[in-house]
Each structure stands twice: as structure tokens, then as C-alpha cells.
A and B are shown apart, each in its own frame.
Chain A
Amino acid sequence: MKNKVSAMASWFDARPERPRLIGSRCRSCRSYFFPRESFACRNPACGAADLEEVPLSASGTLWSYTDNRYQPPAPYVSPEPFAPYAIAAVELADEKMVVLGQVANGVATADLQVGMRMELVVETLYSDDANEYLVWKWAPAAGSRS
């Protein structure tokens, strides 16, 4: 049994029962950032240095989507053999931002529709001899599969 480790530990909570992207929020103007901003708020009307780490909404609406029919170049680590997979841009309502992610295994572009409800899941990005590296992905929310 391989260890399951996050491919990008500081960016998301990889516990499958509670997958959440980790962003930051400015304590002064309440702007959100993903990935996290560590040293300054990027709102030019603010610029405060006081940012807090916050989990982002775990669901949103599909803003757009596409797929990779060909294997992307390194540093992408592809399963062998390469299988096409979808990529989604999902709009989070509270944060008013769009976040990219791969789409969960087994979901093709034909299963997707702009505006549909999507939720965060955690799946394997790639494996080596010791570990399975996990990443966040977007999946159609229960009941919204077309």
C-alpha cells in the first residue's frame, strides 16, 4: 500500500472526506486569493499585509471547461498510457473567483455543461514507487450530471 500524499500540500486539504482548497483572505478588505498570498493583499486599494489562511468554498458553478486529448509536456506526469481528461474552470459564489482544476476521472466534456454545479474532490494525480500524489479535482455535484 502506497502512502497517499498531497502533490501540493499547502494548496488544499487532501483528506478525501473533507477536500477544501486553501486560499487566503485579506483581514482588511476581505479579498480572497488562490493560491495563497503570503505577504501582501493584491487589491491596489488595500495593500494590507495582514492575510489569513481560509478554506475556499468546496462547490461552485462551471464557468467553462475543456480537455486534453494529447499528453501535456513535462513537468506533467502522466499515467501510462495517457488517457484524455477534462479540465474545468469553476466559479465560487462567495469568493467571486474562478478556480481551475482537473475534472474527476471518468467525467468527459460531453458530461459537462456551463452553469452546472461542481464540487471539489481529491484524486490521484500520479504515483511513484513509494507514493500516490493527490490533487484537487472538480466533479459534477450529486444530481447535476447531465
Chain B
Amino acid sequence: MSERQVAVLGVGMHPWGKWGRNFVEYGVAAARAALADAGIAWRDVQFVAGGETIRNGYPGFIAGASIAQALGWSGAQVTSCYGACAAGSQAVSVARAHILAGNCDVALVVGADTTPKGFFAPQAGERGDDPDWLRFRLLGATNPVYFALYARRRMELYGATDRDFAKVKVKNARHGLENPYARYRKLVTEEEVLASPMVSDPLRLLEICATSDGGAALVLTSMAYARRRTTDPVAISAVATVTPRYPNTVIEMPNFATDSAAAAPPPPVAFRDSIAAAAYAQAGIGPEDVDVAEVYDLSSALELDWYENIGLCPPGDAEKLLNDGVTTLGGRVPVNPSGGLSCFGEAIPAQAIAQVCELVWQLRGQAAGRQVEGAKIGVTVNQGLFGHGSSVVVQR
């Protein structure tokens, strides 16, 4: 399988926060950190893949070029990718493909965002044919509304409780406490979570991910290039960017309805279950091989869904996994050792890249204060609205 792998020679991030500066600044800081980590000069980068941001005008749509220009035009090839929350892994996927195709040896993947205060809102204007605009106009269906529908469904199907959801937040707050890139670094108790204001029943303020500024970057190279510089590089062995299969029977942002299963039976593997599964198949591993996972905890409850979706346990067992400490640092398969979105908030085009940064630090044994001992294989998973799956397998 080694010819299917690319090396992650460098990783870097700009701390998450609410800084209000130009997203390009965060992207440049992350890129410079990743290049320094790799020991590679910017002018040696042959290909730049940027994750787009849609809330920063034209420079955001062509983020790869915006950041390349700020680093100093070098003649590198460039692309910019969008896949909503999965934008970062789309950029990873394109960079990897260029390396595996022999088009370049050294690629920079970078994503950064500057976010507005409060709920994410759709693009401005009167756009009666855009479901992302209409869901706000006709329903007031914010992102937390969808997260809450999943959470209530989980309570109904599996008997999950408010307290189970609160425990996810408590765990992630503890995990992220010493992460220098996390925005929220403060222990919370179950009682504090349960006392925070209800936003969308059953989810409370401390259980819903914030919107953040931040930037993350990776330096990817061919394995041959990496071996000339280091003996034991961390490698990406899979990138899955799958879409749903028809009919997708779980309501998905920003839709008003699911697909209809009246004529075609639901697929044997539901969308969210298919994302990491596709990455495992590419990497030739199974969920039992995973030592550490970074999953998209847009809400505390959603993290529990992901345990099942990435195969850490059968449906309905996630609460037990959590309560037995399996997914806590020190457990069998720690989930979100970085602190997750719970401690970061979401900087959309940077987030899937940040998940990979964390796994690389974990596999190198450099995750001070949150280290998963002896981790060899890690998986990321995330989902972007309009049907974007994202999963990356990292191994050493």
C-alpha cells in the first residue's frame, strides 16, 4: 500500500479564537509553522491547495492563491477547494492526488477563516432557489436546530440522557485544557453544562460548537521525498470525500426533507456510516485498528453518533463507551484528544486540516498534556452540509 501513501512532513496551526483579523493572516501563520516544522522553504513548495471560505469575499473563494500571494508568489501551482465543513479534506485529497500522480513532490495544504459573531447565517440577498437561504427564511432552521433533531432522535432510539451529552463536553474540555491552539481552555462540570442556557432543546449553549477564527496547514510530500529527510514519517494512507447514496433517509443540512425511500430501498450503509468506512477500505484497516480519533463534535450529542458511525461500537452503545472511559484520554481509543470543536469552535475551511494536525502530533508523541500513548493509527471524520463526507487515516 505504500505507493498509495503520502507523507505529512510538517503541520502547523494559528490558535483558534475570535481575533477579527483577515483570514489570510491566520493562513500564512499556519503555513509558515508547517513549513518550519517540515524544514522546507516556501519556495520549494510546488503545489498549494487552499480550503475556501465563503464569508470573506472574493479572496476567500480563491483562498489558495490569496495565501500563496501573501507568502510571496513563487510560481507554485494552485487550487482552492470547497466542501463546506469538509473543505479542508477536499484540499488534502487534491494535494495527495497531485503527489501520487507524480505532478509534484511537495504540496502545502492550508485553510483559514474569519467568522462573524453568533449563528452562521446564509449568504446575503433574496435567494429563493437556495435551500441554505430558504431554511432560515421559512423555518429559522439554524445549524443547532439540525444538531438538536439528531440529539433528540438519539435520546428516543437509545435512551441517551442530558447527562450523557453533558459528559461529552466535560471530557472534551479536559482534553483540550493544555492544547495551546484551543480557544476554550477551561474545565467544566456536568452541572455547569446542564445549567447553561438551552439553545435548541435538548442542546445547551456549552454543548454546541462556536464559530471561530483560526488557520491550519500541512506540508505533504511523496514518501520517497520524505524518506530522504526522515526515517519514520507520519503518512496519510486514506482520504475519503464520499457523498451520500440515494435515498439518504436522514435529514441533512440544509435540506427541508430527506430523500424518499418509496421507490428505492435505503442503502445498506447509511451516509454517516459510509464516510470512515470508505477511508478504512482505502487504508486496508478496520475500526479495531484505530488508536485515536478526531470526530466532528458540532454538538456533544453528535460525538456519540460518530462513535457508532466510525465503527468504535455498535449502534446504541456509544453512551456505554463514553461512560466506561474508553474514549477518554487513557482509555482504549481516545476521541478528540485535541478537545475537539468543543474547545476550538469551528473555523470551517481549517477544521478538517486541524484534525489531521492533531493526529500527526499524536502519532509523533508531541501532543504535550493530551498525549495518547503509543498511538500508531488515527482517523478523522467530518461532514459538510450539502452531502460532503470527510475522513482521513493517518498512520506511522
Q: Decide if A and B are genuine partners.
A: yes
Answer yes or no: B271 CB below 8 A from chain A CBs: no
Of B122, B141, B263, most A-chain CB atoms within 10 Å: B263
Answer yes or no: A44 CB below 8 A from chain B CBs: yes
Measured CB to CB, the nearest residue on chain A to B128 is A8
Answer yes or no: B368 CB below 8 A from chain A CBs: no
| B153 x A114 contact (CB < 8 A) | yes
Measured CB to CB, the nearest residue on chain B to A46 is B263
| A64 x B150 contact (CB < 8 A) | yes
Measured CB to CB, the nearest residue on chain B to A78 is B140
Given contacts A32-B260, A69-B201, A97-B262, contact A76 B140 (CB under 8 A): yes
Answer yes or no: A45 CB below 8 A from chain B CBs: yes
Residues of B close to A115: CB separation below 8 A: 156
| A64 x B153 contact (CB < 8 A) | yes
| A42 x B197 contact (CB < 8 A) | no
Measured CB to CB, the nearest residue on chain B to A7 is B138
| A68 x B263 contact (CB < 8 A) | no
Contacting residues of chain A (64-82) with chain B, CB-CB under 8 angstroms: 64-78
Contacting residues of chain B (92-139) with chain A, CB-CB under 8 angstroms: 118-119, 121-122, 126, 128, 133-139
The distance in angstroms between the C-alpha atoms of A78 and B139, with both chains bound, is 11
Given contacts A68-B140, A68-B142, contact A100 B153 (CB under 8 A): no
| A98 x B264 contact (CB < 8 A) | no
Contacting residues of chain B (249-293) with chain A, CB-CB under 8 angstroms: 249, 251, 255-264
Given contacts A64-B153, A74-B121, A100-B139, contact A69 B197 (CB under 8 A): yes
Interface residue tally for chain A (C-beta within 8 Å): 48
| B149 x A89 contact (CB < 8 A) | yes
Of A63, A68, A94, most B-chain CB atoms within 10 Å: A68
The distance in angstroms between the C-alpha atoms of A69 and B256, with both chains bound, is 20
Within the complex, what minimum Cβ distance (angstroms) separates A49 from chain B?
A: 16
| A125 x B138 contact (CB < 8 A) | yes
Is chain B's binding surface mostly helix, strand, loop or mixed?
loop
| A44 x B139 contact (CB < 8 A) | no
Within the complex, what minimum Cβ distance (angstroms) separates B395 from chain A?
A: 33
Residue interface mask A98-115, B partner, CB < 8 A = 1: 111110000001000011
Within the complex, what minimum Cβ distance (angstroms) separates A42 from chain B?
A: 6
Residues of A close to B139: CB separation below 8 A: 87, 100-102
Given contacts A30-B263, A102-B139, contact A73 B134 (CB under 8 A): no
The distance in angstroms between the C-alpha atoms of A94 and B262, with both chains bound, is 7
Answer yes or no: B18 CB below 8 A from chain A CBs: no
The distance in angstroms between the C-alpha atoms of A31 and B209, with both chains bound, is 36
Of A30, A73, A77, A78, most B-chain CB atoms within 10 Å: A73
Measured CB to CB, the nearest residue on chain A to B156 is A114
Measured CB to CB, the nearest residue on chain B to A99 is B257
| A95 x B260 contact (CB < 8 A) | yes
Answer yes or no: A135 CB below 8 A from chain B CBs: yes
Contacting residues of chain A (22-38) with chain B, CB-CB under 8 angstroms: 26, 29-35
| B263 x A67 contact (CB < 8 A) | no
| B136 x A76 contact (CB < 8 A) | yes
Measured CB to CB, the nearest residue on chain A to B204 is A69
Answer yes or no: B199 CB below 8 A from chain A CBs: yes
| B200 x A67 contact (CB < 8 A) | yes
Contact among B134, B150, B153, B200 with A69 in the assembled complex (CB-CB below 8 Å): B200
| A76 x B256 contact (CB < 8 A) | no
Residues of B close to A94: CB separation below 8 A: 262
Contact among B140, B141, B203, B262 with A31 in the assembled complex (CB-CB below 8 Å): B262
A-B contact pairs, 7 of them (CB 8 A): A64-B153, A69-B199, A70-B119, A72-B119, A96-B260, A98-B258, A102-B139
Q: What are the 9 tightest A-B residue pairs by CB atom distance, in nearest-first order?
A: A66-B148, A72-B140, A73-B121, A32-B260, A96-B261, A114-B156, A76-B140, A31-B263, A34-B257
Q: Which residues does B use to contact A, with CB under 8 Å?
A: 118-119, 121-122, 126, 128, 133-142, 145, 148-153, 156, 197-203, 246-247, 249, 251, 255-264
Q: A89-B251, A98-B257, A100-B141 are in contact. List 16 more A-B contacts (CB 8 A).
A: A29-B264, A30-B263, A32-B262, A45-B264, A64-B153, A66-B149, A66-B200, A67-B200, A69-B198, A70-B199, A73-B121, A95-B262, A96-B261, A97-B258, A98-B251, A99-B256
